[in-house]
């Protein structure tokens, strides 16, 4: 049900309500009894900043899309899990000689002001 269909549904409930309440109270009662509607999908919006701030990520050396993945919970013997806290589908396997804190796909995230010095660093990316 879209928002407009939901509004139409609520208005039907208001008309069907034979109580002595005013229409606003009838509408509030109907929305309390039937609080949900399905919001239709919207196209993506590219937001470069939110309230004058950026969400910045510091990238490691291995690309998430092309990295080796754990299989049955284990990485290949010459690698290590990037994170013990994520599912197999959401982690990668790093070569054992790399430090996970510095080499995972995203090793840090911060919300920074538009003119923050760190954001201008080549090691940070606006997300």
**33-87 pLDDT per residue, tens:** 888 766 677 787 767 777 777 777 777 777 778 788 898 889 999 999 988 888 8
C-alpha distances (whole Å) from 82 to each of 64, 72, 109 are 10, 15, 16
Residue 108 CB-half CA count within 13 A: 11
Q: What percent of the chain has pLDDT over 70?
A: 82
Q: Where are the domains of the chain?
A: 3-33, 53-126
- Please tell me whether residue 126 adopts helix, strand or coil conformation: strand
- pLDDT band at residue 126 under the 50/70/90 scheme: low
Contact 52, 114 (CB under 8 A): yes
Q: Which residue in 57, 106, 59, 67 sits closest to 80, CA to CA?
A: 67
């Amino acid at each position: 049900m879209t928002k407009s269909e939901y509004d139409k549904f609520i208005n039907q409930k208001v008309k069907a309500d034979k109580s002595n309440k005013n229409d606003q109270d009838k509408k509030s009662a109907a929305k309390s009894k039937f609080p949900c509607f399905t919001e239709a999908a919207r196209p993506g919006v590219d937001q470069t900043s939110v309230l004058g701030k950026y969400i910045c990520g510091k990238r490691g050396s291995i690309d998430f899309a092309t990295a080796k993945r754990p299989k049955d919970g284990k990485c290949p013997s010459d690698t290590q899990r990037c994170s013990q806290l994520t599912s197999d589908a959401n982690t990668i396997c790093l070569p054992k000689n790399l430090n996970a804190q510095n080499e995972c796909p995203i090793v840090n995230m911060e919300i920074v002001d538009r003119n923050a010095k760190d954001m201008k660093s080549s090691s940070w990316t606006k997300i």
